[in-house]
Structure formats: structure tokens, C-alpha cells
Chain A
């Protein structure tokens, strides 16, 4: 049985921007692992293949071992095509059995299980066509699996997911090094220190509200307080951090200051003091010293977020911090408002005032306005340097993907730049 994850709808993908601008939806993280890793584990599929938006296919292909946008995977084996936004804990479809299609109450296909023999008799030009053919040809099974709808749901579900993932992984104990003196407050059975991980002296790990998983090669420096539930990724370094409950930190990050209820993808830096709470931070992000976000409004009202720069969407939660896209960079003293959207590749030079809630991708925010700044070429040059420092290459495929993102986000950026110019001109009068 081959598991196939399909992410081709721009309308759905928009709800997960800015993080999904540069990756398929199943690479979003919640808890210890990504959504895709959870689905693969749940279905126990022997093989996997992916269908992603064309603009990121080449870049994604270079990162994964499995076929990407390859129609040949739709032949030769039984397939289980799954909506990557289905919550893995709900997904209880057996990999064996007759061909069938699972449909939710809105008529959306959540999965299609098609056995090889049926597949061979179905004309296939693209995966969407196959799904529609399957809907017509095979039994439609009503299903009520929950789906992720918006990116902030991943932030809000992170603590609970961390607890579930820790139980599912089933690891506990100290396989790395804990240097004394240190404190494990709460049960030590909820601590896992992986081989090669080092916990320096004077660190407190508190498991009273959930487990703490420190992955291989991670380093926790003195005066850090790690509250569970928490996951610290491979070779990440925590620098005297106040790590409140509910954080997932990806591999190769550097994190200091105060972090609460947040998800950080790999290779991002929040080295210095400053508070980041209930936020989702992409890859290759650098948050300057004292960068701080609000995650709670003064009147405790529900936080709204703008994903497209035009329309506010109610999150239904009192606590939502910032959404920060890949390669975004903030200067020292940046203040992010509650429910802020900071686009991918955006550069912030703070003025000391709260930022607008929506900063488009590739924007240079300078002197309180969105500008063209030094352009995208300079951003690419910086990305190349940043990635090189971690032994990663800025490839032609990567640049081609970002060119597409630049074009996709042009309208919202140009609108913000024009508004910025008007503001600047008025201020200079």
C-alpha cells in the first residue's frame, strides 16, 4: 500500500500562510513531528508519494526521498490517497480492503483507497482527476474525521499533541548527559534525553504539566527552565531560556529569552532576550534581540489574524501570537502585535512602535512603512549566507520557488508599499 498525500488547492493552502508558502501542508509541525509524519505512522504505509503545487515541486523533490508530482505512483500498487489536513489521531482507515472514498459532510474527499486492480482500470491524467473518478466509481463512505482549518489551530493544539506524541513515541530516560547540579521537577518518567544531548548544570526540567523530549545532539545551557510539554529538536541549543509549556522547537535552532506555546521550524534563531508566545515561526528566521510579541489583548477579547492583508479572520482564541514566515528577519526591539502576520523573507527594522498586523512577504519594513527596500536580490544573497553557515545550499530550485512566491504575493506587497509611500510623503510635509 502506497500512501499519497495531495496538497494542490491554493484556496486551502492560504489558510496556512505564511508558513505554507514554501512547503507542502504535511510539513507543518504540531507536537513532536510533522502532520505528514503522523499520517505515515498512523497508516503504517510501506511507501509514500507526494503531490505538491508545481512551483515548489523541484525544491521539495530535493528534500525528500519519495516521489513528488510523479503520476507513475498512481499505478502498480494499492494506493491510499489522503487529505494531509486530516487529523492523524482520527484517521482509522485500514490499508487493506475494497476500494472506497471517504467523504465529509461538505462533500470533500478525505481519503480514497483504491486497490491496484481497480486502479489499473481507471484512466489517470492527474491526481485530481483520479479522485473525482474514484468518487464516481467506488462506494462513498461518510466520514467525520476532523481537519486542520487554519494555521493557528496547530499552535493551540500543540501542548496536547506533544503529550500524545510523547506517549506514542514511548521513550523515556536519560540516554544523553545531564550534568549536575540540575533539577527534574515532577516525574522523571516524563523526560527523555536522547543520545548526544547535553543538559548543562543549573537547568530545571519541569514535567508537572507534561513531558519533555530533548532530541539527539541538543544542548541546554545553564539557567534554562524547560516546562513540559516540550520538544527540543536535534542539535538545537537553548541559551538560558525560559521555556514555558507547549513549545516545539525544530532542529538546529538557537533559542534564548522567553518562549511559550510556540512552534519553531528548523534552523531559526531567537538567540537573545524577548518574549515569543503562541506563535508559529518558520525556517531560517532570525529574531533580533528583544523581539517580543503580544499573544493576549489588553481586553482579553478574541484575537483576529489577517492572512491576506485585507480580511480579518477570527481565531476563536484569546491567545494567538505571531505567524512568521521563512527567512523573515527582525531587528532589535521589534514589537509584534497580537495575531500578527509577518511574511516570508520580510525584513523588519523596528522603530520602537508596534508593527502593523500584516507585513507582506518580501517587504522591507523601514521607518514605520513597508518599502521595496533593497529588493529581493539582496534577500536572496542574505539567505545564501545564512544557509551556508549551517552547511545548506541555496539552490536554483529554491530560488525558483521563491520567485514564484514573490509573484504570488506581489499584489498585497504593492498595495502596502503604495500605502507606505503616501504615509511617508504626508509625514515629510
Chain B
């Protein structure tokens, strides 16, 4: 199974139409990757679907970078007893 980081990169690439190799952990979704507000919502929905989790929308939309998203999703998976590859 792919790691959380790989899966986050893959989803981010799909939603923002980027090459996964171009995405760095320190990239800010809005400023570096060009995510518009609607795409932020799509990203939240896609992460929830990918990992089978429910995220609080305020907390999820407060996440700024790809690395923070990996951490945040890992935490949510732990809280909701979803097994993921670290």
C-alpha cells in the first residue's frame, strides 16, 4: 500500500492537475500550487474519499501545506481507527 504522503501527493496532483513529482511537502496549496477556494473544497472531499475518513471542514481548510496535510490526515486516520501506511 502507498504511504499517506504518496497518496496525498497523488490526490493533490489529480485535483490541481499537476505532476506528482513537482509537489513538495513544503508547498503551500494556494500560493505554490495555485489551488483556488473551490479546489480546496475538492481536495478535502477527495482526501476523505481516498482515506475513508471524515474531516472537520474548518480544521481541514486551515491546513496550509502538503506536509501539514499529511500530518493532519495521519492524525485523523489514527483518531478514526483507519489503518494507513506511514
Contact = CB atoms under 8 A, between A and B. Distances in A.
A366 B57 contact: no
A366 B58 CA distance: 17
Interface string A370-401: 01111101000000000000000000000000
B58 A371 contact: no
Interface in B34-48: 37-38, 41-42, 44-46, 48
B71 interface: no
Contacts of B56: 375
A374 B49 CA distance: 17
12 contacts: A366-B41, A367-B38, A372-B44, A373-B41, A374-B57, A375-B56, A375-B57, A421-B45, A421-B49, A422-B49, A424-B46, A428-B46
A421 B46 contact: yes
Most buried by B among A349, A374, A377: A374
Contacts of B61: 374-375
Instruction: Please classify how large the interface on chain A is, using the bins under 10, 10 to 19, 20 to 34, 35 or more.
Output: 10 to 19
Contact of B41 (A364, A422, A425, A428): A364
Given A349-B38, A364-B41, A366-B41, A373 B46 contact: no
Given A372-B57, A375-B58, A422-B49, 18 more contacts: A349-B38, A366-B41, A367-B41, A369-B45, A371-B42, A371-B44, A371-B45, A372-B41, A372-B45, A374-B57, A374-B61, A375-B56, A375-B57, A417-B45, A420-B45, A421-B48, A424-B42, A424-B45
Nearest to B47: A421
Contacts of A374: 37, 41, 57, 61
B10 to A, nearest CB: 10
A367 B42 contact: yes
A422 B46 CA distance: 8
B78 interface: no
Main secondary structure of the interface of B (DSSP, over half): helix
Nearest to B49: A421
Contacts, number: 45
Contacts of A373: 41, 57
B14 interface: yes
B37 to A, nearest CB: 8
A87 to B, nearest CB: 43
A360 to B, nearest CB: 15
Contacts of B32: none
A424 B49 contact: yes
A374 B48 CA distance: 15
Nearest to B39: A367
B50 interface: yes
B43 to A, nearest CB: 10
Nearest to A424: B45
A417 B44 CA distance: 11
Most buried by B among A364, A366, A369, A422: A366
A237 B15 CA distance: 43
A229 B57 CA distance: 46
A67 to B, nearest CB: 38
B77 to A, nearest CB: 16
B49 A425 contact: yes
Interface in B1-57: 14-15, 37-38, 41-42, 44-46, 48-50, 56-57
B7 to A, nearest CB: 12
Nearest to B11: A428
Contacts of A424: 42, 45-46, 49
Nearest to B54: A414
Nearest to B55: A372
Contacts of B41: 364, 366-367, 371-374
Contact of B38 (A366, A372, A420, A421): A366
Nearest to A364: B41
Interface string B48-85: 11100000111001000000000000000000000000
Contact of B50 (A364, A366, A369, A425): A425
Contacts of A366: 38, 41-42
Given A420-B45, A421-B45, A428-B15, A377 B58 contact: yes
Contacts of A369: 45
Most chain-B Cβ atoms within 10 A of its Cβ — which of A372, A374, A428? A372
A377 B48 CA distance: 20
